[in-house]
Amino acid sequence: MQTSILIIVFAPLLAAIVAGLGNRKLGNVPAKVITTGALFIACGFSWPIFLQFLGGDVPATVVPVLKWVQSGTMTFDWVLRVDTLTAIMLVVVTSVSALVHLYSWGYMSDDPDQPRFFAYLSLFTFAMLMLVTANNLVQMFFGWEGVGLASYLLIGFWFKKPSAGAAAIKAFVVNRVGDLGFMLGIFGTFLVFQTTSIPEILDAAPGMAGSTITFLGMRWDTMTILCLLLFVGAMGKSAQLGLHTWLPDAMEGPTPVSALIHAATMVTAGVFMVCRLSPMFEAAPAALTVVTIVGGATCFFAATIGTTQWDIKRVIAYSTCSQLGYMFFAAGVGAYGAAMFHLFTHAFFKALLFLGAGSVINAMHHEQDMRYYGGLRKQIPITFYAMLAGTLAITGVGIVGVAGFAGFYSKDAILEAAFASGTSAGNAAFWLGTVAALLTSFYSWRLLFLTFWGKPRWIESEHIQHTVHKTPEQAGEDTTGGYHPHESPIPMLIPLCVLSVGAVLAGAVFTHSFIEDESFWNGAIAFNEHLIHSMHEVPMWVKMSASIAMVIGFVVAWYGYIRKPSMPAAAAQQLGPIYRFIYRKWMFDELYDYVFVKPAFWLGRLFWKAGDEGTINRFGPDGAAWLVMRGSGLAARVQSGYLTSYALVMLLGLVAAITWVLF
Amino acid sequence: MGGFPILSAMLLVPLVGAIACLFSEAKTARMIALIATLVDLVLGIVLWMNFDVGGAQWQFTERAALFAGFDYALGIDGIALMLIMLSVFLMPVCIGASWTSITKRVGEYMAAFLLMEVLMIGVFAAQDILLFYIFFEAGLIPMYLIIGIWGGDNRIYASYKFFLYTLLGSVVMLIAILWMVIESGTTSVPALMVYDFPPEAQTWLWLAFFASFAVKMPMWPVHTWLPDAHVQAPTAGSVILAGVLLKLGGYGMIRFSLPMFPDASAQFMWLIFALSMIAVVVTSLIALVQHDMKKLIAYSSVAHMGIVTAGLFAFNVQGLEGAMVMMLSHGLVSAALFLCVGVIYDRLHTREISRYGGIAINMPAYATIFLFFTMASIGLPGTSGFVAEFLSLAGVYQASSWAAFVCTTGIILGAAYMLYLYRRVAFGPQVNEDAAAMPDISIREYLLLVPIVLATLWMGVYPESFLAPMRQDIAVLDARLASAAPQGDAHFEMGKGTPAEEAHAEGEAH
């Protein structure tokens, strides 16, 4: 197992280095073969490890790689550690990554910079694998920032577009706000535990209950403040309410990137972190309440925005944000198994939805606005069925007690756990989650109906007009403009089919292990047996609530976008300011610009012009110069520029001073 | 090493080279300088390989009495070794960076650089406090010349400002040194490092040294000479200024202020923290609004040096080691960033950021290397910048969570100003035709930058090579400071009824 772990983690790194340094000299095909090959190898080694863990009671494997830092009592090394939690992430990361690599053969086939793209993808995978195999908090932080770098590079991949550059910076800087919390959390953890090793911290965490510490002049419960600081990091990476603003903008990156990084893997790192440190969070009930509330609020808030957006990728991006909220409040109520299960199923169906969207965008000549889609069902049938599978999975279609698609199992488990936890935060999260389930169903079906049903509205799109060389007037009655969307090439369809299987089956196959099997987890997360029991005992209406919400959402979407298409505009008109508030994403960007960005530049100019130049220089060196200039003619020579004379004077002075003291 | 006086040899080689350069024409002078600096690099490597990690504190000592207790005494510990390595590593790079861009008075220019190398090695190797002072102050003379003769349009103003600031600090430090020598009766630095000055005297001595070191660092608010000096200096001048000269202040603090005046250091901890916090936040914000590339990087240096000072005065091993790694890391990274600016300055002759844009299209290799150093500067894990930032801030946190919080905001601001710079230079469409026509980096430029890339990665992935030689010296210093170290603000307390074994955490966490 040790060798396979090393191969899994370092094969993508080697591939990234070769493809990245070779770049255009290497050529497109070799770069693609090397990176994609490395990922399929990594994927091939990951599944046997996961299946082994699925058997139950497998202890963690630790592979030391290299010494990293030793400073006084602080030591941390490069070590790979694989337990159940990591094994799950290994299959998620390597499978989705391998499929996205393959998909990109088709999607990026016209791009002149393919080796660079594939090198970034593989680099990302390496960093993500370092994150999930971390045995200490600092290596986790390495992976954390490494995926941030890859995300920055890939969002900015089409760097000629100014919007891509801006989105890349925004992603990095907003994540750094979270990282500020993460870093302080690590410092505090080290101060308290005298180690950064995760297993040692988790062992000692329960003993810290009741201890107190001062942070920023306030007295805190130790575990509460540490967990809250670490959770700020998780909020940044997983785009939770307040630190979410970078995720929708990150859609500037190529669509395969959105599928891999901004849906299936990187953004789930925060959830992974909370689960990885679950014994720590269990010792901090107050922090868990915060996690629950933030998760619940995010899942609701992002879903509302998802219902109003027109850009197909943005809808899915807000959907991701919302689904991450589910995972967090699951963790917040102590159902770490359910959180990880939703992470697992979500990785498949959300990657599927993004890749499907990419296939639609590809067919529609880079048009991303759903207002210009319509009637694509027959033109691109495989994409349609794949996205249908994804939609059935995300909305959680299924029959209680019988069977269902992937999301049915994981989302229902989360809602049941929230209700069963019995806390008021859990209860609030349950209701928020149920409403969000309704909204999820609405925006997902809205997306599907707008794209695949109805009459084609293609000629309204500038991209299509550009292609067919017609204006809507010239096209007249024929709203297709004579444009023929084509189904995507095989390399793009294979990942869609594979992920569809995942979206359909992942729930049913793995639900027992993830939710109920303590021996599967084998201590990798804090397993709350009591909660599992109460989950079974929730009232029937609780079990049904998600399905009911799903049906209502579907019916409303069907009525508004198929039955009576004039309804949405009328509703938007009716709601007026509320609609605009939601449509403009709750005004977060405007608010942050006003509160943080503009003042930062203003302060910078103030400190520069009024501070450095207006005060320090004026009364310091320039003031002195002025005095000197006004003084004797001898001093005026200071301005002459004969620097050697200063040096001479200084040395003479020095010799004189020494002579005076010593003799 | 037997009895071979390797430190003297390292001083002699560039000195002889400098004299030879003065009497040579341009072409020969360049070759002489390159060879001399490379020989010194080789000697440096020999020095490092023969340094006995964990052995005697002072190694390679040489001593020759000159007059009246004033000795020619050299010797190094791990801290000095690392800084000497940094100097000898960057010197050939400086010569290479000036290879084609300097055409005026080449002989004198090369001589100035070689003289600078002599003086830099001298500062770090000097074991006599007066000898140190001479090297320390004289090291600025070649820098005045480099800025004043080979600098930009406003070079006289810049060199004058540089002179004025440093002069101010130096005079008071000299008086303090003389007082110390009379009081203790010795000029030996190792002896002074264990000499206990009376606490009330420590206060004044500390302030006198601080006046000089704070300027050299530079700390806010005596930093305003740095942006001007950088902007006016030729590329290699900026490289050596950012790479080595800015380390003199930090070296002075770790060699003199802390071990010689531990009580005063503890007393002034909050002064240092306050100035460091202001430096990190204020100069980062200023860096955000710069439109001159060199000025931006100069301001970022002030912010990074703020982390160094905060780490040094955290009074624990992580803070001290982090500050040392930060000095080494910043020496590599900021030097490389100035080289990167130099590369495009040589092509377009402007430092104005808006004159560039989209150069990742025509200079992909350059864009990659520039991005690497941008990331190293903002402390991406895997590069030296992270180890530096992480250790020093972890140290600061143990002393004060407020100081750590404010200094850690530097990771956000740093990312903002560096990525904003990178975006304006490398990303976006090609708006300026002349910038779009620039050729990618040449072999010579590769040779300058790639070694720094490798060193930065090495220090980021396996910093043990750099930490190990310093470990014992830092431990000695930490022990010396232990009695004076202020208590941290965490006041960690266990809950009731917890096992006693956990309670030791509090004691260790200062």
Q: What pLDDT band is residue A178 in, cutting at 50, 70 and 90?
A: very high
Q: What pLDDT band is residue A655 in, cutting at 50, 70 and 90?
A: low
Residue-level pLDDT at B510 = 42
C-alpha to C-alpha distance for A292 and A329, rounded to whole angstroms? 4
Q: What pLDDT band is residue A647 in, cutting at 50, 70 and 90?
A: low
CA distances from B178 to A263, B167, B202 (A): 67, 17, 14
Residue of A211, A600, A616 with shortest CB distance to B288? A600
Residue of B222, B412, B498 with shortest CB distance to A173? B412
The stretch B92-102 carries a mean pLDDT of: 91
Residue of A208, A214, A661 with shortest CB distance to B490? A214
pLDDT in tens, A322-338: 999 999 999 999 999 99
Does residue A322 contact residue A306 with C-beta atoms inside 8 Å? yes
Residue-level pLDDT at A467 = 83
Buried b (16+ CB within 10 A) or exposed e, A217-228: eeebbbbbbbbb
Across chain A, mean pLDDT equals 90
Residue-level pLDDT at A585 = 85
Say if residue A649 is exposed, middle or buried (CB neighbours under 10 Å; 0-12, 13-18, 19+). exposed
Residue-level pLDDT at A478 = 79
Q: What pLDDT band is residue A661 in, cutting at 50, 70 and 90?
A: low
Does residue B273 contact residue B403 with C-beta atoms inside 8 Å? yes
pLDDT in tens, A543-555: 899 999 999 999 9
C-alpha to C-alpha distance for B396 and B320, rounded to whole angstroms? 10
Structure tokens, A329: 């409040």
- What percent of chain A stands above pLDDT 70? 94
Position A118 pLDDT exceeds 60:
yes
Residue of B321, B405, B496 with shortest CB distance to A184? B405
Do the Cβ atoms of B321 and A222 come within 8 Å? no
pLDDT in tens, A95-105: 999 999 999 99
C-alpha to C-alpha distance for A621 and B226, rounded to whole angstroms? 12
CA distances from A195 to A188, A523, B507 (A): 10, 20, 15
The CA angle A568-A571-A576, to the nearest 5 degrees, is: 125
pLDDT in tens, A483-537: 888 899 999 999 999 999 999 999 889 998 898 888 888 888 988 888 988 988 8
The stretch A62-82 carries a mean pLDDT of: 93
C-alpha to C-alpha distance for A252 and A155, rounded to whole angstroms? 6
Task: Kindly list the residues from chain A whose CB atom is less than 8 angstroms away from the CB atom of residue B381.
Answer: 138, 141-142, 145-146
The stretch A75-90 carries a mean pLDDT of: 94
Which residue type, as a one-letter code, is found at position B115? L
The stretch A131-141 carries a mean pLDDT of: 95
Position A609 pLDDT exceeds 90:
no
In B253-356, DSSP assigns E strands to: none
Task: Kindly list the residues from chain A whose CB atom is less than 8 angstroms away from the CB atom of residue B497.
Answer: 210
pLDDT in tens, A2-57: 899 999 999 999 999 999 998 888 889 999 999 999 999 999 999 999 999 988 78
A317 or A654, which is more confident? A317
pLDDT in tens, B446-457: 999 999 999 999
The DSSP string of A444-509 is: HHHHHHHHHSS---GGGSHHHHHHHT--HHHHTT-TTTT----PPPHHHHHHHHHHHHHHHHHHHH
B321 Cβ neighbours under 8 A, 6+ residues apart: A71, A72, B391, B395, B467, B470, B471, B474
Across chain B, mean pLDDT equals 90
A105 Cβ neighbours under 8 A, 6+ residues apart: A32, A36, A491, A492
CA distances from A265 to A54, A321, A344, A645 (A): 21, 13, 9, 65
Does residue B341 contact residue B351 with C-beta atoms inside 8 Å? yes
Do the Cβ atoms of B408 and A183 come within 8 Å? yes
Do the Cβ atoms of A216 and B167 come within 8 Å? no
Residue of B174, B286, B405 with shortest CB distance to A216? B405
As beta bridge partners, residue A61 has A82
Rounded to 5 degrees, what are φ and ψ at A306? -55, -30
Residue of B287, B402, B404 with shortest CB distance to A217? B402
* B115 three-state secondary structure: helix
The DSSP string of A79-102 is: EEEE-HHHHHHHHHHHHHHHHHHH
Check if A652 contacts B (Cβ < 8 Å): no
Check if A302 contacts B (Cβ < 8 Å): no
Residue-level pLDDT at B509 = 42
Structure tokens, B6: 């390797």
Residue-level pLDDT at B506 = 42
Check if A59 contacts B (Cβ < 8 Å): no
Residue-level pLDDT at B500 = 43
pLDDT in tens, B472-508: 999 999 999 988 888 888 888 887 654 444 444 444 4
Task: Please state the separation of Cα A393 from the chain's center in Å.
Answer: 20
pLDDT in tens, B279-294: 999 999 999 999 999 9
Q: Which of B132, B164, B361, B384 to mutate to test the interface with A (most CBs of A within 10 A)?
A: B164
**CA A132, A138, A144, A145: dihedral to nearest 10 degrees?**
-150
Check if A424 contacts B (Cβ < 8 Å): no
Do the Cβ atoms of B224 and A604 come within 8 Å? no
Task: Kindly list the residues from chain B whose CB atom is less than 8 angstroms away from the CB atom of residue A142.
Answer: 381-382, 386
Q: What pLDDT band is residue B153 in, cutting at 50, 70 and 90?
A: confident
C-alpha to C-alpha distance for B46 and B4, rounded to whole angstroms? 12
Do the Cβ atoms of A625 and B164 come within 8 Å? yes
Position A642 pLDDT exceeds 60:
no
The stretch A164-180 carries a mean pLDDT of: 94
The CA angle B441-A163-A439, to the nearest 5 degrees, is: 140
Residue of A210, A616, A638 with shortest CB distance to B160? A638
A523 or B86, which is more confident? B86
The stretch A365-392 carries a mean pLDDT of: 92
Nearest Cα residue to B80 out of B131, B126, B12, B43: B126
- Cis before B218? omega within 30: yes
Structure tokens, A443: 């925006």
Q: What pLDDT band is residue A462 in, cutting at 50, 70 and 90?
A: confident
Residue-level pLDDT at A659 = 62
The stretch A226-244 carries a mean pLDDT of: 94
Do the Cβ atoms of A611 and B282 come within 8 Å? yes
Does residue B403 contact residue B336 with C-beta atoms inside 8 Å? no
Q: Within the 5-34 window of chain A, which residues sit less than 8 Å (CB to CB) from chain B?
A: 23
pTM of the model: 0.93
Q: Within the 67-106 window of chain A, which residues sit less than 8 Å (CB to CB) from chain B?
A: 67-74, 78
Which residue type, as a one-letter code, is found at position A541? W
Interface size between A and B, measured as CB pairs under 8 A: 249
